[in-house]
């Protein structure tokens, strides 16, 4: 996740397909790392959120909800062009940083075929996307997400390593 988000925040390219691939990979990694923290390190994640101001907590939660919306819709239901707006180059060359691209507004879609709980889930994620991502720079989204995940994951993983202690060679093996 760190390598992918760092590459996104530094990269510039004229090839849209490469840009789309970098954004897609960053969305996938950020949402997977966050899901892992929610499942396996909920206390560390909660502690990292509590250290933040209420407005920052709200922004973090909605950023990840918006990224989950992107992950679940991009490619299968909605194309990259529907989500991403390339930034205009200041030099006129067409070359610009991917981090300067913006998320587009995404209109609501028909949810009537979904069960009620799925409809609520989808609507909540769509609203988070519209409020926290739409019309904002992609670099800001991934800067916030990656920063929070690093702050949360590194102490959780360090505690896990300390708790586990040194590994035994097992019965019948020399240490």
pTM tops 0.85: no
pLDDT at 31: 97
Lowest mean pLDDT segment, chosen from 12-16, 118-122, 133-137, 159-163: 159-163
**Residues of the chain above pLDDT 70, percent:** 81
* Per-residue confidence band for 140, with pLDDT thresholds at 50, 70 and 90: very high
Tokens of 127: 């609203």
pLDDT at 73: 87
Interatomic CA distance for residues 154 and 159, integer angstroms = 9
Domain ranges of the chain: 2-89+96-157
Residue 12 has pLDDT above 50, yes or no: yes
Helical ranges in the chain per DSSP H = 2-10, 16-40, 42-50, 54-73, 80-83, 116-128, 138-164
Torsion sign (Cα): 144, 147, 153, 156? negative
Q: Rounded to the nearest 10 degrees, how much is the dihedral formed by the CA atoms of 49, 51, 53, 54?
A: 40
- Could you report the per-residue pLDDT of 81-114, keeping only the tens digit for each? 889 999 876 555 556 889 999 999 998 878 888 8
In this structure, the number of other CB atoms found within 10 A of the CB of residue 152 comes to: 22
């Amino acid at each position: 996740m760190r390598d992918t988000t760092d590459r996104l925040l530094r990269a510039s390219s004229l090839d849209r397909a490469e840009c789309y691939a970098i954004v897609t990979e960053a969305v996938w990694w950020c949402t997977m790392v966050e899901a892992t923290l929610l499942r396996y390190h909920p206390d560390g994640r909660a502690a990292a959120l509590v250290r933040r101001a209420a407005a920052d907590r709200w922004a973090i939660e909605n950023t990840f909800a918006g990224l989950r919306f992107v992950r679940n819709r991009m490619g299968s239901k909605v194309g990259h062009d529907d989500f991403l707006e390339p930034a205009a180059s200041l030099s006129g060359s067409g070359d610009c940083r991917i981090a300067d691209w913006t998320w587009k507004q995404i209109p609501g879609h028909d949810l009537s075929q979904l069960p009620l709980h799925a409809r609520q889930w989808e609507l909540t994620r769509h609203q988070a996307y519209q409020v926290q991502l739409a019309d904002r720079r992609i670099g800001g989204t991934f800067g916030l997400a990656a920063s929070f995940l690093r702050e949360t994951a590194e102490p959780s993983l360090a505690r896990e390593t300390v708790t586990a202690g040194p590994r035994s060679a097992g019965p019948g093996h020399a240490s």
